[in-house]
Amino acid sequence: MPISENLLHIKSNIPNHVLLVAVSKTKPNNLVLEAYNAGQKDFGENYVQELVDKYQTLPKDIHWHFIGHLQSNKVKYLTPFVYMIHSVDSFKLLKEINKQAEKNKRVIDCLLQIYIAQEETKFGFDEVDCMALLQSHEFQALKHIRICGLMGMASNTANTEQVTKEFKSIKHLFDTVAKSSLVSFAFKYLSIGMSGDYELAIKNGSTLIRVGSSIFGERNYSK
Ligand SMILES: *Cc1c(COP(=O)(O)O)cnc(C)c1O
C-alpha cells in the first residue's frame, strides 16, 4: 500500500491524543517526503549521521525525534535542531545534552529510557535508578533539558502476555512520576509501541508510538 494510505490506516486506528512518530531510519528522502506530503510532521531516526543528513535536505518544519542509542560525543550534532531525544539512558548523557543545549540557547525535550525487556541488549534505567535520578539535586540543576516522559522497548517476542507485563510495569512507573512533584506539566509522553504492538501499547497507556515498517514497509539493511 502507498505510504499515505498506511498513515491514514494507522491514524484512524489510534486515539487523537496519541502522537504518531514515523520511524524513517534506512528509508530514502523521497519516501520521507511522501509521508510529509501526506501530513506527517514527526519522524524518528536512530543513527546520528543519517538524521543530520536528512535534517539538512528535508523540509525544516519536520520534528525530528532521536530514538536510538546515543553516545555522549555525538550529542553536539543533534542539539541545534533535534525536537526530542527518546533514548536518554544515563545521567552522563543527560548532562551532555544539557551542556550542548545551553550552548545552542535551547531547552531540549527528553524522555528517559526505561529498561523493561528481558533481553540483555536493551539500554535504559531501572525503576529505582530512574526515581533516584529525578530526585537528585544534580538533576534538578539542569535547566536546559525538560523531561517529557518515558520510553521503553518491550521484548521482541510474540508472547503478548510478556509484552503486556512489560508495558504495565513502565506505565506504573510513568504514573508514579507523573503524580510526583519531580517533573512539570510537560511530562505526558509514554513512548511505547511499534509496528507490531502499538495497539496493545495504547491499551496500556501509550501516548506516543514509534512506527516504521507499517508505514514505510520492511527495512532492508543489506545496502
Ligand atoms: C526501528 C525502531 C522502531 C520502529 O520499528 P517498526 O517495528 O518498524 O515499527 C521503533 N522504535 C525504535 C527505538 C526503533 O529503533
- The model's pTM: 0.96
| Number of domains the chain is built from | 1
Residue 222 inside a domain? The answer is no
Q: Which domain holds residue 40?
A: 3-216
pLDDT per residue as tens digits for the range 138-182: 999 999 999 999 999 999 899 999 999 999 999 999 999 999 999
pLDDT of residue 222: 67
pLDDT per residue as tens digits for the range 4-58: 999 999 999 999 999 999 999 999 999 999 999 999 999 999 999 999 999 999 9
Angstrom distance (rounded) from CA 163 to CA 23: 21
Angstrom distance (rounded) from CA 184 to CA 188: 9
pLDDT per residue as tens digits for the range 82-107: 999 999 999 999 999 999 999 999 99
CATH code of the domain in which 212 resides: 3.20.20.10
Closest residue to atom 5 of ligand 1, CA basis: 212
> Which residue among 210, 213, 219 is best mutated to probe the pocket of ligand 1, counting the most ligand atoms within 8 A of its Cβ?
210
pLDDT of residue 117: 87
Residue 186 inside a domain? The answer is yes
Residue 13 inside a domain? The answer is yes
Ligand 1 nearest atom to the CA of residue 87, by list position: 13
Residue 223 inside a domain? The answer is no
pLDDT of residue 58: 98
Ligand 1 nearest atom to the CA of residue 219, by list position: 8
Residue 78 inside a domain? The answer is yes
Task: Judge whether residue 197 has pLDDT over 60.
Answer: yes
As given in the structure block, the three cell numbers for residue 9 are 490506516
Measured distance between the N- and C-terminal CA atoms of the chain, rounded to whole angstroms: 23
Residue 54 inside a domain? The answer is yes
DSSP state letter for 175? H
pLDDT of residue 1: 83
Angstrom distance (rounded) from CA 115 to CA 11: 28
pLDDT of residue 119: 76
Q: Is the CB of 210 under 6 A from ligand 1?
A: yes
Residue 11 inside a domain? The answer is yes
Q: Taking a C-beta distance cutoff of 8 angstroms, is the pair 143, 199 a contact? A: no
Q: Is the CB of 65 under 6 A from ligand 1?
A: no
Q: Is the CB of 156 under 6 A from ligand 1?
A: no
Q: Under the phi-then-psi rule, with left for phi > 0, alpha for psi from -120 to 50, and beta for the rest, what region is 155?
A: beta
Tracing cell 523493561 back to the chain, one arrives at: 116
DSSP assignments along 68-110, one per residue: S---GGGHHHHTTT-SEEEEE--HHHHHHHHHHHHHTT--EEE
Closest residue to atom 12 of ligand 1, CA basis: 67
